[in-house]
Amino acid sequence: MKSKLITAIPVYNGAGLIERTLQSIAAQTLKPDRVVVIDNCSTDNTEEVVKGFKPIKCEWRQNEKNLGWAANFNRCVEYADQTEYLQILCADDAIKPRFYERLAQELESCKGRGLAYCLDERIDEHDKHLSLSGKATGEVEVLSVHEFLRRKAELGNQAIASTLLKTGYQKSPCELRLDFPIVADTVFWADFGRHCEKIVFLHEALGLYRWHGTNNTFVYWQDLQPLVLDEWRAMQMLEEWRGGPTGFVRQFKLKGLFAVRSGIKAKRLRGLKNFEYAKQIVQSARKISGPLAWTMALVLVEMRDLLIYRMMGRPMHPKNIYG
């Protein structure tokens, strides 16, 4: 029997947080028909927590071996042709009660594949509010594929916890690429979006993205390739998918955005006393962006930190080197 909505949860050693994730699903005004937890050979008591959760029924699936986080994500993608709507929800994130109701409503008129995403609220491991990914105005934007790819090429924010796919009982046209350990989700959304008839961005924070010391992004941050160089590689690839003219101004903007993101990482690492790695990031990123874009980016980073963290007093997770 085909489902209207499936929630697939990839997990590895998620016992400490997955119950809160499941609670957020149980509280939905529009509940999924199936909740499938795909375990990547956890060594903690994740299975016990999931099977002991009573408010909703969860299906437990366990891999024969640990596949890595990206391949386990792709196991969730395999459910696309069994449902009209699919959400892949990380075991450390959560969603607010009207998430499925609101996003499915925006895609209801879509006859083929569709994608809807919203803002996310960033919280820490204790559920403390950190920030919002944008201004929550309630506006609903319907994006063309071209505009969506433009934003993805700029690595515009789109959290996994804030995204709902309308698959229409069709197999997914793509899967998570294993060669982008950190920005793989951005590339996946862009690739899926290329095949969509409707793309919607809701300026309302209905997803909850959790910063904590064991995020997948922290696993790979010590490697310069996925942390920095892959970002530029992804930006160029997605810009090519966009198919629009990429002149000097557009390339300079992309280099500037890349420089800002790299400059933030380098500054955060200096704050953690990791001076040598920060120096490597600066050298590598500046070589790509060029001296002018790099200098302008550093000024923006300092102004941003002064405004947001000092004057406005926004809290920052001590291990967040990304923003």
d(Cα 107, Cα 109) in Å, to the nearest integer? 6
What was the pLDDT predicted at 231?
96
Pick the CATH number of 3-210 from 3.40.50.720, 3.40.50.10490, 3.90.550.10, 1.20.1440.230: 3.90.550.10
d(Cα 273, Cα 278) in Å, to the nearest integer? 9
User: Which residues are CB-neighbours of 319 under 8 A, at least 6 positions away?
Assistant: 211, 212, 213, 218
DSSP 182-204: TTHHHHHHHHHHTT-SEEEEEEE
Tokens 């607010």, residue? 96
**What would the pLDDT profile of 103-130 be if each residue is shown by its tens digit?**
999 999 999 999 999 999 999 989 999 8
How does residue 2 score in pLDDT terms, banded at 50, 70 and 90? confident
What was the pLDDT predicted at 292?
96
Percent of the chain residues topping a pLDDT of 90: 81
**What would the pLDDT profile of 252-307 be if each residue is shown by its tens digit?**
999 999 999 999 999 988 888 999 999 999 999 999 999 999 999 999 888 876 76
Residue 130 contacts residue 316 (beta carbons within 8 Å) = yes
d(Cα 90, Cα 216) in Å, to the nearest integer? 10
DSSP code, position 172: -
Strands 114-123 and 163-166, bridge-based pairing:
antiparallel
- Better-predicted residue by pLDDT, 306 or 150: 150
d(Cα 222, Cα 211) in Å, to the nearest integer? 17
Dihedral sign from CA coordinates of 42, 44, 46, 51: positive
Residue range 237-241: mean pLDDT, rounded: 96
d(Cα 140, Cα 200) in Å, to the nearest integer? 7
What was the pLDDT predicted at 220?
65
- CA 189 centroid distance within chain: 9
Q: What is the mean pLDDT of the chain?
A: 92
Residue 322 has pLDDT above 60, yes or no: no
How does residue 211 score in pLDDT terms, banded at 50, 70 and 90? confident
DSSP code, position 144: P
Residue 319 has pLDDT above 80, yes or no: no
Q: Domain limits of the chain?
A: 3-210, 223-311
Dig out the tokens for 316 from the structure. Answer: 């920052």
How does residue 17 score in pLDDT terms, banded at 50, 70 and 90? very high
Residue range 167-188: mean pLDDT, rounded: 95
Residue 25 contacts residue 89 (beta carbons within 8 Å) = yes
d(Cα 200, Cα 207) in Å, to the nearest integer? 15
How does residue 45 score in pLDDT terms, banded at 50, 70 and 90? very high
What was the pLDDT predicted at 272?
85
- Residue 263's nearest CA partner among 303, 209, 216 is 303
